[in-house]
Amino acid sequence: MNEPEANKDGYFDWTEDMSVGIEIIDDDHKSFFELVKTFSGWGRGTASDLVIESALLMLEEYVGGHFLREEKAMQKCAYPKLVAHTQKHSYFRTRVQTISALYSRGTKSAIDDLPVMVVEWLKQHILGEDVQFKHWIRPLDVDSRPLGFLAMEASEINKDGRMDLLLP
C-alpha 145/C-alpha 131 separation (Å) is 21
Distance CA 152, CA 157 (A): 9
Q: Is 107 in the site for another protein (CB under 8 A)?
A: no
Choosing from 11, 33, 62, 79, the residue that interacts with another protein (CB under 8 A) is 62
Q: Supply the DSSP string of 139-165, one letter for each residue.
A: GGGS--S-HHHHHHHHHHHHHHT-GGG
- Determine, following the binding rule CB under 8 A, whether residue 120 of this chain makes contact with another protein: no
Residues in 128-167 that interact with another protein by CB under 8 A: 145-149, 151-152, 155
Smaller CB separation from another protein, 28 or 82: 28
Query: Does residue number 57 form part of the binding site for another protein (CB under 8 A)?
Result: yes
Give the whole-angstrom CA distance, residue 76 versus residue 66: 16
Residue 92 in contact with another protein, rule: CB under 8 A: no
34 vs 45: CA distance, rounded Å: 21
* Residue 117 touching another protein (CB under 8 A): no
Which residues bind to another protein, rule: CB under 8 A?
Answer: 31, 34-35, 38, 42, 46-48, 50-51, 53-58, 60-62, 65, 145-149, 151-152, 155
